[in-house]
Amino acid sequence: MAGHPWVRRGYSAALLALAPLIWRRVWRERLPGHPRGERLGRIPPSPAGARTLWLHCASVGEVQAARPLIEALARAYPAHRLVLTTMTATGAERAAAIAERLLGEAEAAEVSHHFVPLDFAGAARRFLRRLRPELAIVFETELWPNLLAACAARGVPVAVVNGRLSPRAFRGYRRLGPLMAEALSHVRWLGAKSEADAERFRALGMAPAAIEITGSLKFDIGVDPAAREASERLRAALGGRPVWVAGSTHEGEDEAVLAAHARLRETHPAALLILVPRHPRRFEAVAELCRESGMATVRRSAGERPQAGTAVYLGDTMGELGVLYGAADLAFVGGSLVPVGGHNLLEPAALGVPVLTGPALANFADVAEALRERQALVEVAEADALAAALARLVDDADERRRLAAAGRAVVEANRGALARTLEGLDRLLPAG
């Protein structure tokens, strides 16, 4: 059941009332070359005659998960320009790195980036008027009511890809019932990750006929040959010592990871932890935690390399998590020992690195279940359990090989969402 436009007017009034707080929140999300006016839809107009595809991802995790789709769109539609938008600066940096890699391909679309406008009605209209996309593609759950309504007003078809709604997100959106029903009425096609996600979108008011279950794009993750070579070089430089990565860690989790590593080194004194915090703004705070732990630490951002006495290698750079995962014997994926909901378990699995995780996996429940079914996931509840699992696996090369093979098998068995997504998007594009 579609909602009513009047609920969006109330939403817009509330946004305007909160504008000072919203602006303060996004003020720090800035990059050179991206004026803050982009937040109000003030982007350069699209060149005359340009055919534009627009893909929006919230942050760095979504950009990374969308990378196979970004690359496929650029290659499938070389006569178009592909414009990526993100809410965060870290997402913008990741988008820029992907665009740079595609720049050298003669048969690929031009790829560029802007910050998405805040969801004020005027900013949304201005952004769409200047961008003039043929198709708007929203990754996962970035359902901004005024942006979707502005697309509908200009006749721009909207697709939601890799559509997911965690139970927690569903409960939040359901409290906004009429507003979300009106927003979803502007979506022409939704590629849901699973039947459970599809059912939640239907419960919010999405037309059942517009929903197709495509599976998760995360399983279509590719392995960059250049990143693989960088991983091999790093692994060779580290020697034969046991190496594990704790990737995408959050506040309150780094302490547990460092405690687990200290326990591991009691029985395996040569073990090296590569610690990669999720957010760049926490790099300095995590470096201080490492110093307080008393374990010898070097920082990747300083160009330092671990020596024989180094216990912790702080991965305080952007866009290199895959390289660091690929250099390790084991990978713990963060956001899972704290109530964040987890991060991409498939990134190390695709590289053939055994995967460990905490219990908080709401954001990756479907991926976690697929890995569990093949016994390709090691789950721990807290620091002591993590230390025990690491010690066991460091000593058991056969089990590490089994976990690695099972993880790769899960990735391969679940590929195909990308092809189904591209088919759905192609139906929305005008001919010619």
Residue 131 belongs to some domain of the structure: yes
Q: Report how far residue 74's alpha carbon sits from residue 120's, in angstroms, rounded to the nearest whole number.
A: 30
**Is the domain of 131 the same as that of 203?**
yes
Of 15-29, 177-191, 345-359, minimum mean pLDDT range: 15-29
Residues 420 and 401 in one domain: no
- Sort 309 into a burial class: Cβ within 10 Å, 0-12 / 13-18 / 19+: exposed
Half-sphere exposure of 318 (CA within 13 A, CB side): 19
In a shared domain, residues 244 and 108: no
- Alpha-carbon gap, residue 89 to 28, rounded angstroms: 9
pLDDT at 141 over 90: no
- Write down the pLDDT at residue 1: 42
| Strands laid side by side in the 272-277 sheet | 297-299, 312-314, 272-277, 243-249, 330-333, 355-357, 377-379
- Domain membership flag for residue 17: no
Would you say 356 and 389 are in contact if contact means Cβ atoms under 8 Å apart?
yes
Q: Is the pLDDT reported for residue 106 higher than 80? A: no
The verdict on residue 97 lying in a domain is yes
Q: How far apart are CA 215 and CA 179, in angstroms?
A: 27
DSSP label at residue 31? B
- 211 and 232 fall within a common domain: no
| Catalytically annotated residue among 29, 62, 140, 253 | 62
Whether the CB-CB separation of 244 and 271 falls below 8 Å is answered with yes
Write the single-letter amino acid at 12: S
| Distance from C-alpha of 26 to C-alpha of 58, rounded to nearest angstrom | 13
Instruction: Provide the H-helix boundaries in 211-253.
Output: 225-238
Task: Evaluate whether residue 23 is within a structural domain.
Answer: no
pLDDT at 4 over 90: no
Report how far apart, in Å, the C-alpha atoms of 151 and of each of 38, 124, 134, 138, 146 are. Answer: 17, 9, 10, 12, 9
E-strand ranges in 21-149 read: 52-56, 81-86, 110-115, 133-139
| Separation of alpha carbons 15 and 144, rounded Å | 12
Contact 301, 316 (CB under 8 A): yes
62 is catalytic: yes
Q: CB of 245 within 8 A of CB of 328?
A: yes
The CATH number of residue 259's host domain is 3.40.50.2000
Q: What is the mean pLDDT of the chain?
A: 93
Least confident of 109-113, 240-244, 274-278, 308-312: 109-113
* Nearest CA-CA partner of 144 in 8, 340, 2, 14: 8
141 compared with 427, residue with greater pLDDT: 427
| 250 shares a domain with 203 | no
pLDDT over 90 at 296, yes or no: yes
Domain check: are 202 and 235 in the same one? no
Please state the domain count of the chain: 2
pLDDT of 174-223, one tens digit each? 998 899 999 999 999 999 999 999 999 999 999 999 999 999 998 998 88
CATH number of the domain to which 196 belongs: 3.40.50.11720
For residue 76, tell me if it sits in a domain: yes
Q: Is 329 among the domain residues? A: yes
Please check whether residues 266 and 402 belong to one and the same domain. Answer: yes
- Radius of gyration from C-alpha coordinates of the chain: 22
DSSP structural state of residue 117: P
276 token code pair: 């990669």
367-404 pLDDT, tens per residue?
A: 999 999 999 999 999 999 999 999 999 999 999 999 99
pLDDT at 266 over 90: yes
Q: Which of 230, 246, 256 is nearest to 278 (CA)?
A: 246
Domain around 372:
225-413
Is residue 262 predicted with pLDDT exceeding 80? yes
From residue 310, give the alpha-carbon distance in Å to each of 269, 302, 305: 10, 15, 9
| Exposure of 316 in the CB half-sphere (CA atoms within 13 A) | 22
In the three-class reduction of DSSP (H, G, I as helix; E, B as strand; rest coil), residue 276 is classed as strand
Do residues 263 and 295 share a domain? yes
Lowest mean pLDDT among 29-33, 250-254, 328-332: 29-33
The verdict on 408 and 422 lying in the same domain is no
Model confidence at 247: pLDDT above 80: yes
User: 391 and 356, same structural domain?
Assistant: yes
Burial code (b: 16+ CB inside 10 Å, e: under 16) for 34-46 equals: beeebbbbebeeb
The answer to whether position 168 is within a domain reads yes
How would you classify the pairing of strands 211-213 and 243-249? Answer: unpaired
Residue appearing with tokens 């009425």:
185
The reply to whether 268 and 375 lie within a common domain is yes
Query: Does 229 share its domain with 209?
Result: no
Q: Is the dihedral of CA 63, 65, 68, 69 positive or negative?
A: negative
Alpha-carbon gap, residue 366 to 197, rounded angstroms = 10
Find the mean pLDDT for residues 81-88: 94
% helix, strand, coil for the chain, step of 5: 50, 15, 35
* Residue 220 placed within a domain: no
Task: Tell me the pLDDT tens digit for each residue of 29-40.
Answer: 878 888 989 999
Find all residues with CB under 8 Å of 405, minimum gap 6, and list them. 352
* pTM given for the model: 0.82
